[in-house]
């Protein structure tokens, strides 16, 4: 099969319109039409990844579609690295938190900042500095647990 400029443009446009296993199957069929050395030629002239081409060839040959595991990608959450982290956060912050003084919301306010919580995790719970997540991550975890690190206001007397 001859790859002219028009054929390349058509193949690349079709390739861009497909996703996932349909794209891999299209690439495998194209490589099959190219004949011997088709994978290297497709890599060189069309810019296709040979690993994806091999996966598409396998799917075409066996008829089994490989599922992409997108959920397993990315960075793991801090709780997976430190399973006791959330319990230790609750233990530290519970003594320093209070509800809204006017009972307008059910939020829990705490006097502790994320930096102070981090220092107390190191001092009280025995964590090492390098194993703990950053202050911004701890602040996010506190928010997920329902604690809002803000300065607690005392009830002010009403003006006359």
Q: What is the DSSP string of 18-69?
A: --HHHHHHHHHHHHHHH-TTHHHHHHHHH---HHHHHHHHHHHHH-PPPPP-
Instruction: Check whether residue 87 and residue 118 sit in a common domain.
Output: yes
Instruction: Check whether residue 102 and residue 41 sit in a common domain.
Output: no
The token pair that represents 151 in the structure block = 């300065």
Instruction: Check whether residue 93 and residue 38 sit in a common domain.
Output: no
Residue 121 domain-assigned (yes or no): yes
Residue with tokens 């390349």: 8
Instruction: Check whether residue 99 and residue 135 sit in a common domain.
Output: yes
Residue 87 has pLDDT above 90, yes or no: yes
94: confidence class by pLDDT, cuts 50, 70, 90: confident
Q: What is the tens place of the pLDDT at every residue in 2-46?
A: 788 999 999 999 999 999 899 999 999 999 999 999 999 999 999
**What pLDDT sits at residue 151?**
59
Q: Kind of pairing, strands 108-110 and 147-149? A: parallel
Instruction: Check whether residue 24 and residue 87 sit in a common domain.
Output: no
- Is the separation of the CB atoms in 145 and 139 below 8 Å? no
Q: Name which residue leads in pLDDT, 159 or 15.
A: 15
**What pLDDT sits at residue 72?**
81
Residue 10 domain-assigned (yes or no): yes
Instruction: Check whether residue 88 and residue 130 sit in a common domain.
Output: yes
Instruction: Check whether residue 49 and residue 92 sit in a common domain.
Output: no
Instruction: Check whether residue 50 and residue 113 sit in a common domain.
Output: no
Q: Kind of pairing, strands 97-99 and 108-110? A: antiparallel
Residue 158 has pLDDT above 90, yes or no: no
Residue 132 domain-assigned (yes or no): yes
Q: In the Cβ-directed half-sphere of 64, how many Cα atoms lie within 13 Å?
A: 5
Residue 70 domain-assigned (yes or no): no
Q: What is the tens place of the pLDDT at every residue in 103-153?
A: 777 777 777 888 888 999 999 999 999 999 999 999 999 888 888 776 556
pTM (predicted TM-score): 0.53
Q: Which helix (H) or strand (E) holds 10?
A: helix 5-17
Structural domain of 54 = 5-62
* Tally of structural domains, the chain: 2
57: confidence class by pLDDT, cuts 50, 70, 90: very high
Residue 160 domain-assigned (yes or no): no
**What pLDDT sits at residue 69?**
81
> Rounded to whole angstroms, what are the CA distances from 55 to 21, 58, 60, 139?
9, 5, 9, 42
Distance CA 154, CA 136 (A): 27
Residue 155 has pLDDT above 70, yes or no: no
Instruction: Check whether residue 96 and residue 125 sit in a common domain.
Output: yes
The length of the chain is 160
Instruction: Check whether residue 46 and residue 16 sit in a common domain.
Output: yes
């Amino acid at each position: 099969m001859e790859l002219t400029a028009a054929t390349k443009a058509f193949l690349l446009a079709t390739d861009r319109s497909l996703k996932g296993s349909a794209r891999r199957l299209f690439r495998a069929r194209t490589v099959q039409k190219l004949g011997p050395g088709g994978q290297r030629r497709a890599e060189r002239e069309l810019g296709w990844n040979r690993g994806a081409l091999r996966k598409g060839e396998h799917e075409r040959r066996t008829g089994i579609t490989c599922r992409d595991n997108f959920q397993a990608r990315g960075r793991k959450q801090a709780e997976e690295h430190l399973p006791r982290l959330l319990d230790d956060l609750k233990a530290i912050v519970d003594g320093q938190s209070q509800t809204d003084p006017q009972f307008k919301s059910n939020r829990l306010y705490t006097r502790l900042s994320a930096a102070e919580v981090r220092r107390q995790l190191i001092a009280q719970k025995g964590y090492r500095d390098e194993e703990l997540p950053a202050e911004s991550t701890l602040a996010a975890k506190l928010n997920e647990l329902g604690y809002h690190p803000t300065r607690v206001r005392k009830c002010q007397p009403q003006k006359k």
